[in-house]
Amino acid sequence: MSTNLESSSATSTANAGGGVAVDLAAVEKIYRTDKVETVALSNVNLTIPGGEFLSIMGPSGSGKSTLLNVLGLLDTPSGGTVTLDGDLVADLNDRQLAAVRNREIGFIFQSFHLINDLDALDNVQIPLLYRNLPNSVRTQMAEIALERVGLGSRMRHFPTQLSGGQQQRVAIARAIVGTPRLLLADEPTGNLDSKMGEEVMQILEEYNRDAGVTVIMVTHDQRLAERTERIVRLFDGRQVH
């Protein structure tokens, strides 16, 4: 996979090449509407060294997706601080935030979120459209990512022509095509049977091991969680120790 990350980071990345180191201190997230106030995260403290494979578990509504969205810079905490590679996220301007989101972070969702009108190769290229790359380079990077997830022979298939496991592998290829250093997966095996879930898990493990990328996975599957280096449990937005 081509490495064009040297000039990519909007922040000073202390350990460029390895995984992103993450630090959360006293993170709170409160959703407020006219009538109700929901505390989705309360006093979450987490130090994740670059390259760790960590899983997050907890019942439905315990704040797992909120935590992942805060980590992925898709949501802003109501309190506390998020630090990536020593840089306070709150200090980044919009342009820097967008650059970190696009270049350093890959996101995988339970329901794949592929675009049905685009084939696998075009779906995988989407994150690269925000970069100034020639068409041929984009295509080549997408091909390499699809080969990496074992879909070299399905590049021109559309999502509806692929099994759930294959669709999730396309989504993983899209998440890794830009060589992110932090991979966030929200119940990536939740819609898959155990065999397909196992394939997806193996790809995440391989990517973590080979590329040294930090991987944070939300899962309800205790067996998969036990294969990661650490399990963080949430209940009602709080860490359970």
Ligand X SMILES: Nc1ncnc2c1ncn2[C@@H]1O[C@H](COP(=O)(O)OP(=O)(O)O)[C@@H](O)[C@H]1O
Positions in the binding site for ligand X (CB under 6 A) = 31, 38, 40, 58, 60-66
Q: Which is nearer to Mg ion, 65 or 189 (CB)?
A: 65
C-beta nearest to Mg ion: residue: 65
Q: Which is nearer to Mg ion, 99 or 171 (CB)?
A: 171
If binding is defined by CB under 5 A, does position 239 make contact with Mg ion? no
If binding is defined by CB under 5 A, does position 65 make contact with Mg ion? yes
Phi, psi (rounded to 5 degrees) for 218: -85, 135
Cα–Cα dist 202/180, whole Å: 18
Q: Which is nearer to ligand X, 37 or 210 (CB)?
A: 37
Q: What is the identity of the amino acid at 86?
A: G
63 makes contact, choosing from Mg ion, ligand X, none, with CB < 5 to 8 Å by partner type, with: ligand X
How many helices (H) and strands (E) are present in the chain, helices listed first? 7, 10
Structure tokens at 230: 């650490």
Three-class DSSP category at 33: coil
Size of residue set near Mg ion by CB under 5 A: 2
Least distance in angstroms from the C-beta of 59 to ligand X: 7
DSSP, residue by residue, 7-69: TT-SS--TTTTSPPPEEEEEEEEEEE-SS-EEEEEEEEEEEE-TT-EEEEE--TTSSHHHHHH
Q: Which is nearer to ligand X, 64 or 181 (CB)?
A: 64
Cα–Cα dist 9/51, whole Å: 17
Least distance in angstroms from the C-beta of 61 to ligand X: 4
Least distance in angstroms from the C-beta of 62 to ligand X: 4
The two beta strands, 105-109 and 182-186, are parallel
Q: What is the identity of the amino acid at 62?
A: S
If binding is defined by CB under 5 A, does position 66 make contact with Mg ion? no
If binding is defined by CB under 5 A, does position 189 make contact with Mg ion? no
- CA dihedral 59→64→66→67, nearest 10 degrees, is 150
Listed residue (191, 138, 202) closest to 167, CA to CA: 191
Cα–Cα dist 52/114, whole Å: 27
Least distance in angstroms from the C-beta of 79 to ligand X: 15
Q: Which is nearer to Mg ion, 147 or 221 (CB)?
A: 221
What mask, x for binding Mg ion by CB under 5 A, covers residues 136 to 165? ------------------------------
31 makes contact, choosing from ligand X, Mg ion, none, with CB < 5 to 8 Å by partner type, with: ligand X
Q: Which is nearer to ligand X, 39 or 133 (CB)?
A: 39
Least distance in angstroms from the C-beta of 158 to ligand X: 29
Cα–Cα dist 42/77, whole Å: 10
